[in-house]
């Protein structure tokens, strides 16, 4: 095909006339010199060096050899007509992008973030109240798996679901290592969060200068916690845990100990007792007097709310002191004959001491100024097993709600620490079901705090002390049951490993390994029997049952902690300080800035 040209300047107009579709123009008459002027049009693709968005290459010249074809050597001019690039986010060419649910969701989240930034009040001391939520052992894989499970329990695919704290506007990461340990324990990590000072594994409320288990080294190395500062500043204070209230995480809010395992006097060596060290349970009871003796000029009223497990550490080792739901022949462990529950009631005669669901439910938060609840001999029940408690015990959500109702009666505000201790225990037992259901209950408790506090005056931080060797593996399709076997995208049957057997999405690097306990809801039953090593044929096993325990690679008496970073989620005054990757001790400093704890405490002392 040929086109007669009177001037090369008309190329663009001619190309437009031809539609710029890559086809040649119509034939023209012979030129005045007896040779045809030819034009070739060639489509160029997106990304071409001359037309980044694609277009047409137009070659022109004289057909000197009268072959009817414009050869390469006959090309005199090359021009391009390029498709216009997109210069604004609108128009039909962007419909597939801008009308997409994910795109709209992203815009909505960004808009909310901009609103949060505009309303940000960057002022020290803005927070009247501080609530620190600690999911013990709640690593990022635990958060992800729990989010999916919670969504699937609601009939969703699961992955798109959000836990309560997923919605918090600010987040970051905490490096969890202890001063002397690459993979940490709860004592050192919680001490860092509560005092702003990282310390060794296994010690509570003291600096790294001490030697673990050596009583004499603790003196002079005691740290001050955020809860103690709040107490001195005149705020109400509370501690909640589904573990024993003397366990490492809750203990780090109020106790000083060279050994996390000194929960009562029977746990202590004779030399430590002789040297004057005091067990953790006793320190909880003497918290008020200990503060006043340590800080001259202070006048505090002690802990206002204490709720958790661990009754055995407060009772004498005498069956006469057994409670109605004692599970041991002799419930108490104390060898000094002291009944610390009676001592607490004598110290606070108007306070309420409760041990079961009925007693808890009967507490009138408008009339009760102080509440002490010990709901189990040892740890409280797993959330999945809570209905089987002999006398009944409240959920973490119920305890959180009641604590806030009591603590917020103080016009000066409050400090509350809430621990979901049994997430950690579920993982140690190798039970993803146990750990994840407790994580979901934890998220419910966080939502209760959000619903029952004023975001303008309450800083809420959600984090973990450490993670676990808990993994999500394979390539399961969207919506595949998170507790189930891996079914690949586009498939309906479980994927098989190289050994010809199916495998689960969730698993553990180490631990006791596979257990098929059917409908058992107590994850700790998995400790019975030897560790089961090697792969198991799960073809006929219901891996989503409450009693299933995942396979593990390395046999151990129990599964272990892991050392990677954990998430920090925050909302309320000072929450914007939670960002990036931090030493875990930053959490104390965020709480201090938000509520101005140090300065308020100093002011109260002077």
Q: Is the dihedral of CA 143, 166, 591, 300 positive or negative?
A: negative
Per-residue tokens: 86: 């997109």
pLDDT of residue 6: 32
Number of domains in the chain: 2
441 occurs within a structural domain: no
Rounded CA separation 533/545 (Å)? 21
How remote is the C-alpha of 278 from its chain's centroid? 34
372 occurs within a structural domain: yes
Give 27 or 210, the one with higher predicted confidence. Answer: 210
Rounded CA separation 116/121 (Å)? 10
Q: Which residues contact 558 (CB under 8 A, 6 or more apart)?
A: 428, 429, 430, 511, 512, 527
Residue ranges for the binding site for Mg(2+)?
136, 247, 249, 419
pLDDT in tens, 499-521: 999 999 999 999 999 999 999 99
Rounded CA separation 360/405 (Å)? 13
pLDDT of residue 534: 84
Residue with tokens 């959330």: 383
Residue ranges for the binding site?
136, 247, 249, 419, 424, 428, 465-466, 561
Active site residues: 186
176 DSSP assignment: -
What are the backbone angles phi and psi of residue 464, rounded to the nearest 5°?
Answer: -130, 155
| Residue 598: burial class (beta carbons within 10 Å; 0-12, 13-18, 19+) | middle
Rounded CA separation 196/187 (Å)? 13
Per-residue tokens: 516: 């098929």
Q: Which residues contact 9 (CB under 8 A, 6 or more apart)?
A: none
Of 358, 381, 411, the domain-final residue:
411
Asked if 223 and 207 count as a contact pair (C-beta separation under 8 A), the reply is: yes
pLDDT of residue 571: 96
473 occurs within a structural domain: no
480 occurs within a structural domain: no
589 occurs within a structural domain: no
pLDDT in tens, 48-104: 888 888 889 999 988 888 888 888 889 999 999 988 776 665 666 677 766 788 778
Report pTM: 0.85
Of 411, 443, 468, the domain-final residue:
411
451 occurs within a structural domain: no
Task: List Cα–Cα distances, 454 to 302, 445, 458, 577, in angstroms.
Answer: 25, 16, 6, 19
143 occurs within a structural domain: no
Per-residue tokens: 187: 């004592």
173 occurs within a structural domain: no
pLDDT in tens, 256-283: 999 999 999 999 999 999 999 999 999 9
Rounded CA separation 500/108 (Å)? 46
Determine the straight-line distance between the first and last CA of the chain, rounded to whole angstroms.
99
How remote is the C-alpha of 329 from its chain's centroid? 39
List the domain range (segments joined by +) for residue 273: 237-411
Per-residue tokens: 411: 């016009």
Residue ranges for the binding site for Zn(2+)?
136, 424, 428, 465-466, 561
CATH number at residue 261: 3.40.720.10
Of 53, 82, 111, the domain-final residue:
82
The residues facing 418 across adjacent strands are 133, 240
């Amino acid at each position: 095909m040929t086109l007669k040209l009177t001037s090369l300047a008309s190329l663009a107009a001619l190309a437009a006339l031809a539609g710029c579709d890559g086809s040649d123009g119509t034939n023209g008459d012979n030129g005045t010199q007896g040779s045809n002027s030819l034009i070739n049009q060639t489509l160029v693709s997106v990304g071409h060096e001359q037309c980044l968005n694609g277009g047409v290459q137009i070659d022109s010249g004289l057909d000197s050899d009268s072959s009817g074809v414009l050869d390469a050597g006959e090309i005199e001019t090359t021009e391009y007509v390029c498709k216009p690039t997109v210069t604004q986010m609108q128009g039909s060419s962007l419909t597939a992008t801008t009308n997409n649910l994910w795109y709209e969701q992203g815009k909505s989240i960004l808009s909310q973030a901009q609103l949060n930034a505009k309303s940000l009040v960057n002022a020290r001391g803005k927070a009247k109240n501080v609530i620190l939520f600690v999911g013990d052992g709640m690593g990022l894989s635990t958060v992800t798996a729990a989010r999916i499970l919670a969504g699937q329990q609601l009939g969703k695919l699961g992955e798109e679901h959000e836990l309560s704290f997923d919605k918090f506007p600010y987040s970051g990461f905490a490096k969890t290592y202890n001063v002397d340990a690459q993979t940490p324990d709860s004592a050192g990590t919680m001490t860092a969060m509560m005092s702003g000072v990282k310390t060794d594994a296994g010690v509570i409320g003291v600096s790294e200068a001490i030697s673990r288990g050596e009583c004499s080294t603790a003196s002079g190395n005691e740290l001050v916690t955020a809860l103690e500062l709040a107490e001195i500043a005149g705020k109400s204070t509370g501690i909640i845990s589904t573990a024993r209230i003397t366990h490492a995480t809750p203990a780090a809010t109020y106790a000083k100990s060279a050994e996390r395992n000194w929960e009562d006097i029977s746990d202590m060596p004779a030399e430590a007792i002789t040297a004057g060290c005091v067990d953790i349970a006793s320190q909880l009871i003497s918290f008020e007097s200990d503060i006043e003796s340590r800080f001259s000029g202070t006048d505090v009223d002690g802990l206002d709310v204490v709720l958790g497990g661990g009754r055995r550490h407060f009772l004498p080792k005498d069956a006469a002191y057994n409670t109605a739901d004692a599970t041991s022949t002799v419930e108490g462990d104390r060898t000094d004959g002291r009944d610390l529950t009676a001592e607490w009631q004598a110290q606070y005669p108007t306070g309420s001491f409760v041990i079961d669901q009925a007693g808890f439910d009967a507490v009138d938060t408008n009339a009760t100024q102080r509440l002490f609840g010990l709901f189990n001999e040892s740890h409280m029940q797993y959330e999945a097993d809570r209905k089987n408690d002999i006398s009944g015990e409240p959920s973490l959500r119920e305890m959180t709600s009641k604590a806030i109702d009591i603590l917020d009666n103080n016009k000066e505000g409050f400090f509350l620490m809430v621990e979901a201790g049994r997430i950690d225990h579920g993982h140690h037992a190798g039970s993803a079901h146990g750990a994840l259901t407790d994580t979901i209950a934890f998220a419910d408790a966080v939502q209760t705090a959000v619903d029952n506090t004023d975001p303008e005056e309450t800083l809420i931080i959600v984090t973990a002390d450490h993670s676990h060797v808990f993994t999500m593996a394979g390539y399961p399709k969207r919506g595949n049951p998170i507790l189930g076997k891996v079914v690949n995208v586009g498939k309906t049957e479980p994927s098989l490993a190289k050994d010809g057997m199916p495998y689960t999405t969730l698993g553990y690097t180490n631990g006791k390994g596979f257990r098929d306990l059917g409908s058992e809801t107590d994850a700790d039953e998995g400790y019975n029997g030897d560790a089961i090593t090697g792969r198991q044929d799960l073809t006929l096993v219901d891996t989503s049952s409450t009693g299933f325990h995942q396979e593990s690679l390395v046999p151990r008496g129990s599964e272990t902690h892991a050392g990677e970073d954990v998430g920090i989620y925050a909302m309320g005054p000072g929450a914007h300080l939670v960002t990036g990757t931090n030493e875990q001790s930053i959490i104390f400093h965020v709480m201090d800035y938000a509520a101005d704890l140090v300065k308020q405490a100093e002011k109260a002392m002077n």
